[in-house]
Amino acid sequence: MTILLSIIVGLGLFFLVGFAGRTALQAAAPAHHKPMFREMPLTASFGLAVILFYVAVAILAPAIAPFGEGEVLGAQYLPWAAPHYLGTDKLGRDMLTRLIYGARNTVGIAFATTALAFVVGSVLGIWAALVGGRLDQFLSRFVDALMAIPALIFSLLLLTIFGTSVLTLILVIAAVDATRVYRLARSVAQGIVVMDYIEAARLRGEGIWRLIRREILPNAMAPLVAEFGLRFCFVFLSISALSFLGLGIKPPTADWGSMVRENATLITFGDITPLLPAGAIALLTVAVNFVVDWQLHRASGLKE
């Protein structure tokens, strides 16, 4: 009965957030974008609403968090009650505060990592497809060799060697994920570089970087944007997994992955507190995938 009630409440919240999000987006959007938001499915409006909520929490974290990020306030594992509405962790820090700051740290680092991986991977992939020859062969074989190593194991190895600072974490995961972006960008660009307008641009004397910026990149944007959303999910989960294993974001910085590890003991006693950061990770991942599916559907040109 409890499970059935939870499913009903969850579905109700999904439809409520979906309808409210779509209505708000239609009202706030410029006139030429209103039809797009009017026709968007409930899943996409739900996803956008969740993403915007996470972004707002991340930006406003210092203003809305009731306590300091690493402030020890009392005994460990206090129950849910005022002023600690989600209890405290194993060091006596407020869980609600840690969750709020975790949105800023986990999501912010994941976005920076994805952006870096995307820039490096897409530029190298398009460059290799445009130039071809030995450069293409060298880069492609190098990327194949890196992709043959499981991503999590490779990340663990590099972080063990170079340390676990935030900068190192961003660079290591970006390097690992740039290989995936490279493969997609090269594949998409190979279908574009053989088009007549690319040949015409070559004959006009346009250089490589101008061809990439003005001719290829705009025509490859739809699959690359979709890949950005998916890659963000993978990076987000990778950072959380590494933090859970103790090689991600270091304490006292709040991070959802490490919060699950630090409070895992409570699961033994039937306390759902460790599931809160895990649920925050899962909810954002689902929301991003909803939006990516919608964008892929729009880019495909298919109609319902």
DSSP SS3 for 73: coil
User: Is the confidence at residue 231, as pLDDT, over 70?
Assistant: yes
20-39 burial code (b ≥16 CB/10 A, e <16): ebbeebbeeeeeeeeeebee
Report yes or no on 4 lying in a domain: no
- The verdict on residue 12 lying in a domain is no
Question: Within a domain: residue 99?
Answer: yes
Total domain count, the chain: 1
Compute the residue count for the chain. 304
Biggest alpha carbon distance in the chain?
Answer: 73
With CA atoms as reference, report the closest residue to 110 among 217, 240, 283, 291.
240
pTM of the model: 0.80
Is residue 27 in some structural domain? no
Q: Tell me, yes or no, whether 216 lies in a domain.
A: yes
Nearest Cα to Cα of residue 186 among 251, 258, 137: 137
Query: Is 32 within the bounds of a domain?
Result: no
Exposed/middle/buried for residue 227 (C-beta within 10 Å: 0-12, 13-18, 19+): buried
Average pLDDT score over the chain = 80
Lowest mean pLDDT among 5-19, 40-54, 63-77, 189-203: 5-19
At residue 30, the pLDDT reads 67
Secondary structure of residue 207 in the 3-state scheme: coil
CB 74: neighbour CB atoms within 10 A? 11
State both tokens at 151. Answer: 């991503």
Assigned domain for 7 exists: no
Residue range of the domain that includes 157: 40-300
Q: Is residue 25 part of a domain?
A: no
Give me the pLDDT at residue 15, please.
58
Query: E strand or H helix at 19, and its extent?
Result: helix 2-28
Please check the confidence at residue 302 and state whether its pLDDT lies above 50. no
Let me know: does 118 contact 182? Beta carbons within 8 Å: no
Q: What would the mean pLDDT of 168-195 be, rounded to a whole number?
A: 87
Q: How far apart are CA 289 and CA 304, in angstroms?
A: 19
Is residue 110 over pLDDT 50? yes
CATH of residue 207: 1.10.3720.10
Residues 124-181 pLDDT 10s? 888 888 888 888 888 888 888 888 888 888 888 888 888 778 888 888 888 888 888 8
Q: Are 185 and 225 in contact (CB under 8 A)?
A: no
What is the reported pLDDT for 301? 52
Nearest-angstrom CA–CA distance, 119 and 127: 12
- At residue 300 the predicted structure's pLDDT band, cuts being 50, 70 and 90, is low
Tell me, what's the pLDDT at 72? 78
